[in-house]
Homo-oligomer: A and B are copies of this chain.
Amino acid sequence: MPHLPLMSHSSHLSDFFNVENNDAACQARAGRISTTHGDILTPVFMPVGTQATVKGVHPMILQELKTQIILANTYHLYLRPGSELIALASGLHGFMGWNHPILTDSGGFQIFSLRDTLKLDEDGVSFKSILDGSMHRWTPETNMSIQHQLGADIIMQLDECAAYPATKQQVCDAVVRSANWARRCLHFHLNGDMNARVNPSQALFAIVQGGVFQDLRMQSINSLLDIESDAQRFNGFGIGGYSVGESHEQMFQSLGDVTLALPLDRPRYLMGVGNPTTLLRAIALGIDMFDCVLPTRTARMGTAFSSEGRLNLRNARFKEDFSALDSACGCSTCKQHSRAYLRHLIISKEMLGATLLSIHNLHYLINLMKEARDAIIAGKYTQFLDSWLSSAAANDY
């Protein structure tokens, strides 16, 4: 594939994100992300399909849930079945048979969560496969190549995620290295090299790091913005390094200032967060995108979000409870199946139990994002959030 002039790339994605409404009383905003596989209305929750499938949920049902975009994990797919094989299938869309938007993470989070097995230097990182112990090496450039092969609509820079707790110096080092890698990712993404193909329809997000140190957060943002020029810009910003052990209040204190420092014209993606209450509070601070394994992982363990707060279906009190899982919910699970039946499936370790609860939990978050968006458009987001926080549903942490 021929290399594309920079301006063409830049102009192609110039209408990548549009803010359609700003709430007058807080930072919440309703926007639209445009990709070649369809538009994404924000705020949006992205279900996680780690290994090119949202665990337990058939793609037809994902569509019925009005899933706008799913996330897939570069680390897992690179190891198995391999990004080259997925490229042969015309990328993840072709491989999965999913014709809607996809985002891939860089895999950095997975690599750095296995700190014992990696070797890090300025140029890149070497790591051990969880599948067979084999050694692999990624640089920002090879990581971009892999994500180009996967072909998602939105791709993420390779970054270093500091552990929590970490010393300030460790976090500072990670911020500096991540910004350096962001520059190299952006350059390679837009220009490729002699062998690499460049796909002008893929959007690249940088990632803000800095842990709980607010000055490092600001340093991270400034470094990323310094990289940009009129012709070379990131299409959005991920915000990483939260939800790794710090308290919710620590995160919210930090997050408000982070979003204020980010450009208004690019989407902001709070990575790896899935608690309903956290989502709604983060939206008030100006976050547009979320992903998390929480709705599907907790479903497999028998736990459901609900208007009463979280419910553990294993609880004996549901044994003869023939009412709907959540009478306030309109999903197919709540319309067709009782708590007693769901409990039976979970206790009996039947796949359908995980499936029905995953459908409900995904619908719950997708619908919550739609309600949040409607409230923003109506100019009533702070009332919507206050009402939520005083309800039983907020008991979801």
Contact = CB atoms under 8 A, between A and B. Distances in A.
Nearest to A88: B320
A59 interface: yes
Contacts of A51: 344-345, 348, 350
A328 to B, nearest CB: 19
Nearest to A351: B56
| Copies assembled | 2
Contact of A341 (B60, B95, B337, B355): B95
A320 B58 contact: no
Contacts of A55: 350-352
A319 interface: yes
A289 B70 CA distance: 42
A96 interface: yes
A347 interface: yes
Contacts of A352: 53, 55-58
Contacts of A80: 344, 347-348
A356 B57 CA distance: 11
Interface string A94-110: 11110000000000000
Interface string A348-360: 1011101110000
Interface in A298-352: 319-320, 322, 332, 336-338, 340-341, 343-345, 347-348, 350-352
A323 to B, nearest CB: 11
A57 B56 CA distance: 10
A81 B340 contact: yes
Contacts of A59: 336
Interface in A167-208: none
A89 interface: yes
Interface string A19-61: 0000000000000000000000000000000011101111111
A336 B96 CA distance: 8
Q: Which of A57, A95, A344: most chain B CB closer than 10 A?
A: A344
A203 to B, nearest CB: 25
Given A56-B352, A336-B59, A347-B80, A341 B89 contact: yes
Closest 4 CB pairs of A and B: A97-B336, A53-B352, A81-B344, A56-B351
Interface of A: 51-53, 55-61, 80-81, 85, 88-89, 94-97, 319-320, 322, 332, 336-338, 340-341, 343-345, 347-348, 350-352, 354-356
27 contacts: A51-B344, A51-B345, A51-B348, A52-B344, A53-B350, A55-B350, A55-B351, A55-B352, A56-B352, A58-B352, A58-B356, A59-B336, A80-B347, A80-B348, A81-B319, A81-B340, A81-B344, A85-B320, A85-B340, A89-B338, A89-B340, A89-B341, A95-B340, A97-B337, A351-B351, A351-B355, A355-B355
Given A85-B320, A351-B354, 11 more contacts: A51-B344, A51-B350, A52-B345, A53-B345, A53-B350, A55-B350, A55-B352, A85-B340, A88-B320, A88-B322, A97-B341
